[in-house]
Structure 1
Amino acid sequence: MNRDRLFSQLTAHSGPFDIAIIGGGATGLGAAVDAASRGHSVVLVEQSDFAKGTSSRSTKLVHGGVRYLKQGNVSLVLEALRERGLLVRNAPHLVHSLQFVIPSYHWWEGPFYGIGLKMYDALAGQLGLEPSRWLTRDDIIEQLPTLETKGLEGGIVYHDGQFDDARLAIHLARTAVNHGAIALNHTRCVGLMKENGHVVGVKAECVESGAQHEIRAKCVINATGVFVDDVRHMDDEKAARIVAPSQGVHLVLPREFLPGDSAIMIPKTDDGRVLFAVPWHGRVIVGTTDTPMEHATVEPRALPDEIEFLMTHAARYLTRDPRPGDVLSIYAGLRPLVAMKNAESTAALSRDHTILVSDSGLITITGGKWTTYRRMAEDVVDHAELIAGIGVKRCVTHELMIHGGDTLLDPRDPLAVYGSDAAEIRALMEKEPEWAGKVHPKLDLTCAEVIFHTRHEMARTVGDVLARRSRCLLLDAQSSMSAAPRVAALMASELGWDAATTAHQVERFQTLACGYILEA
């Protein structure tokens, strides 16, 4: 996947594309994979990096949504459980089963949650993971030695999926390109092309060079997440806003706060949300919040109240109370919830996806979640085929292997998330032994991976590497800041940066990373 080569393909393309997609998060990339694998000509533009926004800032779970059962939204749970099963099967290098424990501190909680989880198991059907079961107090203490035991009665264990969200996004981009799509990061949509009141393409600008491109297409899909209303206003400045952003914040703690292989799930916190403490890449993620936000920003920041909420609840359920100095990173993401009249809070807004078609033919898709990205893509491409008049072709993504998924490595292998690409990274290490070294003693990222990210995964900034190709910024923000000069030097040798550009890249990333550090 080479960005210069893809731009050359864009320039050489004659006639309109079948489908142009704006937005390179889970939804846009999923749509690109779906449309390209059906045989359509596809171009996708993303103003920043793939999964720069919400799609790299999740709780890292592929799940049906246990709490939606309580709300009576069985259809949403049923669809998500089916998609969870397909994702485990189609991206086995990136998605795996994870054991969750729901501790019970009141006698009635065990039967109450146990019945719900048995229904959860049943809805998953043949695509289910392992069945839920009861645990005694001693069983839970053995599995979760750092869980608060005062008042502990017992609990329930169930299984859901876990994944690396930004890595999946990169593999989706590669899957789309493998099927003939043109996927361009750092390429912003600056306007829509119209003829006779109909949208006929996208005006795009390369952020690096400033080069302008008019991309003609038979259909345009707006898949920009929390920013879909901005694109809709390019089409119709009077269009009513449909997205109400909700912020979710996560703290990242050292592994000793939750040793072992089990996650903790608290079904109901003080604000009615679900709280997770999840082991991930040798760390522990604690989240999340649900805070209505007036405006969407590219780089959202955690609010003091959100930080206090998570720190307080972590202390309530863990024997060791985390202090600000323990927090390795803190990150925030915005959910593109679809606004409904009379909704009193963002928790009451729709978690399902919505597709709108404007009078000009612009298709907008928003809402949903990572777990159902494939289904969302199928739905929106079905719409696009009708709007564009390009013929109806069968969706094949139910059984389509995601790039890299045909090779499984030992989960303990640091390169396991690359799947079949791991061999190429190891070949780089053999060719240049010094590249086998880490960019920082506290990070698992090797120099060879940085070279690979730059050559084959379209990493164009230090942030692309440290935040999304690897997850260093989320795992240890301070160490990532220290690693930035080494990463920049490696990228400079590949991309031809001069000294000034290299220094700017380091400064830019370190400024960004400061927002992920919780002041002690």
Structure 2
Amino acid sequence: MTTDRLASLDGRDFDVVVVGGGAAGASATQNLAAKGFRTLLVEQGDFASGTSSRSSRLLYCGLSYFSPDYPLWRAIFNPRDMMRRVQMVQLAMGCRTELASASPERVKPYDFVFPVKQRSEYPRWKVALGYRALSLFGSAKVPLAYRHDPMPDAAREGLVSFMDPSELVGVARFREYQYDWAERICVDAVMDAERLGATVANYIRVTGFHREGDNWCLTLENGSLPGRRPSQDNRRAEVRARFLVNTAGAWVDRLLKQGPGQHPRHVIGEKGINLVVKLPDTCRGQGMETISSKGQPFYLMPWGDYHFFGPTQTVFEGPPEDVRVLPEELDYVLSEANQVFPSFQLTRDDVVYSWAGVRPRTSNASANVMRVFTIHDLAKEGLENAIAVTGVPIMVHRHAGRSIAAWVAARATPSGQSGQLNPGAQLLPADDGSAIGNVPVTSLRAAAQREHVHCLLDLMFRRVNMGWQPDMGLPHAEATARAVADILDWDEVRIATEVNAYRAFVVTNFNPAIARSQAVAA
């Protein structure tokens, strides 16, 4: 399947080539195609399989930009930083409203609390000031719904009842929104881009690029499926485009090394981990945000009948694909969780599964300037009509996509016809017939038929929501593979390969309790 696509791409001309099929690349491709640009999107793995697949799932209100520990004097001595914070809060709240309104099937509202403690660096007036400032940028359609609940009423039920009441003055209550699962939002954008005329290709990697006159010439090769040996297929394809858009996320700088010139660093990798636990039923559907002992954001996120704690924030210098949860990181998150909720007394045995990811923060020499969404015009580095995009959390991916398309449109006229972008969810067909793991077989088969599925991971994690369930889809892997085998031309050997690769990926990257218990039983 991959080889056929390479052959079909070879020698083709485009207006724009977008490299990187995460949130930013998917939205950029969708917006470029809607404007009528002949656009090619290539992704070395599956769409949304990088940073976007390890998201915190929070459609964030932007509290950290007005964090309680932000020194007010800094606004006087660094007004540019304060202005960026205001801009980012406005952007976060605007994007929150946009996505919750346009794709209600992909987001869920939840009630959150921020504990206000006695003798804290974050007294009630500071917390209230932050939330009231955020509320100025909200909307009636998607309200923040902030209020303060004093003790002892605040601790009568729910999450707060498991905190230490002797430390609390009260809690700030507010509403947050959570992506049902972030990967599907990216896939929705990719599918709509294809409908609008874009060419999209996953498991295709860029191995080189150079200038040919006024165009960029890119060399493409086959990517490798997860858990398989690197492709031994030496076939290549070459495509040309006037514009090159680098949305490779944590791999931005690695991609630039495939082309001409020397380039400064554009991305700093920031590692974060999350861990899933089962809490008492009275906590279901409730979340918490606070500041950790390290002065960093710390949250408890609802996750169906479960919850997850996180994140960590540490610089990560290794290959992003090699990131894993370390034992000491697990212990740190558990320790922070037990400080907030001493009644839980959580241990490693309570962890249902965990995951790690690398956020591609914009590199900046100044420690006092916020690292935010940035379009780097690479003409300054000798690469005409090329940009690199950094610092795009999924909550602002639609804004980023529009901005990228506007950058291209300001420099060129589209060669094709414009179309109407569909911001809504791309829903798979479903019926009341047979299901696997609560997913209709009709949905599985439709995704396999039309949504660029190359392996079982693509299907179960990013086309339907099976992989992120408490059992991580492990009991359903073989049945799922068999349900789509005829569509994907998988024989018995390939089915076994897919199931084994799926299990190996899940165990290596998530260390789920279901696999740990099976290993002990064996």
- TM-score higher than 0.5 here? yes
Q: Report how far residue 254 of structure 1 moved.
A: 2.2
CA offset digits 1:237-283 (Å, max 9, x no partner): 521222110001000112537623221111x1011111111112332
Match of 1:42 in 2: 39
Q: Which amino acid aligns with 2:165?
A: K
Match of 2:55 in 1: 58
Q: Which amino acid aligns with 1:80?
A: A
Match of 1:380 in 2: 404
Match of 1:79 in 2: 91
Select the residue among 215, 229, 232 that pairs with 2:239.
Answer: 215
CA offset digits 1:340-397 (Å, max 9, x no partner): 22539xxx76133342323232211111211111111122222223445548999976
Q: Which amino acid aligns with 2:170?
A: G
Distance 1:281 1:206, change over 3 A: farther
Question: What are the within-5 Å matches in structure 2 for residues 122-137 of structure 1?
Answer: 122-125=136-139, 128-137=142-151
Distance 1:469 1:392 in 2: 29
Match of 1:104, SS?
Answer: strand
Q: Is the 8 A contact 1:246 1:290 kept in 2?
A: yes
Distance 2:293 2:99 in 1: 32
Match of 2:301 in 1: 278
Please tell me whether residue 290 in structure 1 is matched to residue 313 in structure 2.
yes
Match of 1:153, SS?
Answer: strand
Distance 2:319 2:375 in 1: 18
CA offset digits 1:312-353 (Å, max 9, x no partner): 112222322222222111111111111222539xxx761333
Q: Report how far residue 482 of structure 1 moved.
A: 3.4
Segments of 5+ residues of structure 2 without an aligned counterpart are: 71-81, 225-230, 518-522
Q: Report how far residue 87 of structure 1 moved.
A: 1.2
Match of 1:302, SS?
Answer: coil
Distance 1:485 1:372 in 2: 37
Match of 1:311 in 2: 334
Select the residue among 140, 163, 170 that pairs with 1:154.
Answer: 170
Match of 1:475, SS?
Answer: coil
TM-score, normalised to structure 2, is 0.84
Distance 1:391 1:356 in 2: 22
Q: Work out the percentage of aligned pairs sharing the same amino acid.
A: 21
Select the residue among 401, 404, 413 that pairs with 2:423.
Answer: 401
CA offset digits 1:50-102 (Å, max 9, x no partner): 11011011111112320111344111111121111111122121123322111
Distance 1:255 1:448 in 2: 33
- Larger CA deviation: 302-311 vs 113-122: 302-311
Distance 2:442 2:349 in 1: 31
Q: Which amino acid aligns with 2:374?
A: H
Match of 2:353 in 1: 329
Match of 1:215, SS?
Answer: strand
Match of 2:283, SS?
Answer: coil
Distance 1:75 1:135 in 2: 29
Please tell me whether residue 103 in structure 1 is matched to residue 115 in structure 2.
yes
Match of 2:357, SS?
Answer: strand
Question: What are the within-5 Å matches in structure 2 for residues 342-491 of structure 1?
Answer: 342-343=366-367, 350-358=371-379, 359-361=382-384, 362-388=386-412, 390=414, 400-404=422-426, 418=427, 421=428, 424-426=429-431, 429-430=432-433, 435-436=434-435, 438-439=436-437, 444-476=438-470, 480-491=473-484
Distance 1:403 1:283 in 2: 25
- Larger CA deviation: 174-183 vs 448-457: 448-457
Distance 1:300 1:445 in 2: 30
Q: Report how far residue 215 of structure 1 moved.
A: 2.0
Match of 2:217, SS?
Answer: strand
Please tell me whether residue 205 in structure 1 is matched to residue 221 in structure 2.
yes
Q: Is the 8 A contact 2:209 2:260 kept in 1?
A: no
Q: Which amino acid aligns with 1:218?
A: R
Distance 1:251 1:205 in 2: 36
Distance 1:125 1:482, change over 3 A: closer
Q: Which amino acid aligns with 2:444?
A: V
Q: Which amino acid aligns with 2:183?
A: A
Please tell me whether residue 181 in structure 1 is matched to residue 198 in structure 2.
yes
Match of 2:91, SS?
Answer: helix
Distance 1:91 1:140 in 2: 34
- Larger CA deviation: 135-144 vs 280-289: 135-144
Segments of 5+ residues of structure 1 without an aligned counterpart are: 405-417
Q: Report how far residue 291 of structure 1 moved.
A: 1.0
Distance 2:506 2:208 in 1: 31
Match of 2:76 in 1: none
Equivalences, count: 481
Match of 1:415 in 2: none
Match of 2:106 in 1: 94
Q: Is the 8 A contact 1:91 1:401 kept in 2?
A: yes
Q: Is the 8 A contact 2:33 2:418 kept in 1?
A: no
Q: Report how far residue 493 of structure 1 moved.
A: 2.7
Distance 2:17 2:111 in 1: 40
Distance 1:291 1:253 in 2: 22
Distance 1:192 1:45 in 2: 13
Q: Report how far residue 301 of structure 1 moved.
A: 0.4
Distance 1:147 1:355, change over 3 A: farther
Distance 1:336 1:4, change over 3 A: closer
Distance 2:454 2:109 in 1: 33
Q: Is the 8 A contact 2:276 2:308 kept in 1?
A: yes
TM-score, normalised to structure 1, is 0.84
Distance 1:341 1:513 in 2: 37
Distance 1:372 1:396 in 2: 20
Distance 1:393 1:103, change over 3 A: farther
Q: Is the 8 A contact 1:459 1:465 kept in 2?
A: yes
Distance 1:374 1:393, change over 3 A: farther
